Structure 1
C-alpha cells in the first residue's frame, strides 16, 4: 500500500468508493432509506464538484494498492476530520489506520491541539480504538431523514 497526497484527478474514484462503501459497509447500522439519504446515486455529480473543492482546500490523502485507490481521508486546517473511507473490498487491512496515522502526523506538524470528527455508528469503534472519545451522540438530517452519528475528539500530544 502507498499513501500519497490527494490530486484532483482522484475525484471520480473517491466519490465512487464513498458511495460503494457507504451502501455495502454501513448497511449493518443504517436502513436503506438512511443510506440513500447519506449517499444518493442522484447526487454523484454534485458531490464530485463540491468534494473537488473541499478536498483541494483540505489536508487530504489517498491510499493506493496495485494502482487503485482503496481509501481516502481529509481534514480541514482547524483539525476537523471530514472523511475517512476505505473501499468495501479492502476493509480490515490496516488502510484506515495508516491513513489516520498520516493525518494525525500532519495535524501535529500544524500544531493542532486536537482532531474532531463526526463518526458514523459503523466507524465509532474504529475511532475509539485510535484514542478518540465520544463527546456526544447526535442526530443529523439528510434529505429529511435522520441519522445517528457521534461527535468525537482526540487530543494530540505535541511532539
Structure 2
C-alpha cells in the first residue's frame, strides 16, 4: 500500500539513492548517458538531500508493504520551495524506477498542489525534464521557455513551466 507522508530525516539516505537511480535509469532515447552522468554521476550525500528537503515543503511516497532498513520503502518524493524569491518552485520530483508509470508522480503533485492552494500560493513553477514535461502539461502547466542547466560541463535541456492557481476563498 502506497502512502504519502511528510519528509522525515530517516529517509534521507533512501532519497539520495532514489534520485540517482531515477536519473541513471532514464532511457538513452530521452537523455544521453553523458547527460545522465553529468546530472547525477553518483548519489548525492544524505546530508545534501536532508538539508534540501528540510528547507522546503516536502513529501514522500512510501510502500508500507515493502520494508527495508526497518521502515517502509521510499518510492518517490517531491518538494516545493517556500522562501520568498523561489516561493512556488517545484524543486524536485523523482520516482523509483520500479514505481514509475503507476501514478506515483501524479499523486505527489496533487498533494503539493493542494498544499499550495491552501497556503494561497498564486502560481507554481518547475524546470521540467523531458521525462516529466507530459505530467506537468497534464496538470495544466504551460511552457514559458526552454531551460538549460550546465552540470559538470554538459548542458542539459529542460522546460521552464508555470501554472496559475485558484485562490481558496477566505471565510
CA contact (8 A) 1:71 1:84 kept: yes
User: TM-score, structure 2 length as denominator?
Assistant: 0.87
The alpha carbon displacement at 1:26 in A equals 4.9
Q: Distance in 1 between matches of 2:47 and 2:41?
A: 15
Matches of 2:28 and 2:18 in 1, distance apart?
15
In the other structure, the counterpart of 2:93 is: 84
Rounded to whole Å, the distance in 2 between the matches of 1:151 and 1:94 is 22
Q: Which residue of 2 aligns with 1:118?
A: 127
Whole-angstrom distance in 2 between the partners of 1:11 and 1:5: 12
Cα pair 2:15 2:49 within 8 Å, conserved:
no
Gaps of 5+ in 1: none
Q: Pick the structure with more helix per residue.
A: 1
Partner residue, 2:62: 64
Any conservation in 2 of the 1:26–1:122 contact (CA below 8 Å)? no
**Against the structure 1 CA distance between its residues 64 and 109, is the aligned structure 2 distance closer, same or farther, given a 3 Å change threshold?**
same
Q: Structure 2: how far apart are the matches of 1:59 and 1:80?
A: 10
Aligned length: 156
Retained in 2: the 8 A contact 1:134–1:150?
yes
Q: 1:26 to 1:103 in 2, by over 3 A?
A: farther
Whether 1:109 and 2:144 are equivalent positions in the alignment is no
Query: Does the alignment pair 1:146 with 2:155?
Result: yes
* Residue deviations 1:77-136 (CA, integer Å, cap 9, x gap): 111100011110111111111100000111111100011010111111111011111100
Pick from 88, 91, 106: which aligns with 1:97? 106
Report which of the two structures shows the higher radius of gyration computed on alpha carbons.
2
5+ residue gaps, structure 2, are 66-71
Aligned partner of 1:24 in structure 2 is 25
Q: Secondary structure at the match of 1:33?
A: helix
How far residue 57 of structure 1 moved from its aligned partner, in angstroms, is: 1.4
Contact residue 35 and residue 154 of structure 2 kept, 8 A: yes
**Change in CA separation of 1:26 and 1:55 when aligned onto 2, cut-off 3 Å:** farther
Give runs of ≥4 in structure 1 deviating > 6 Å: none
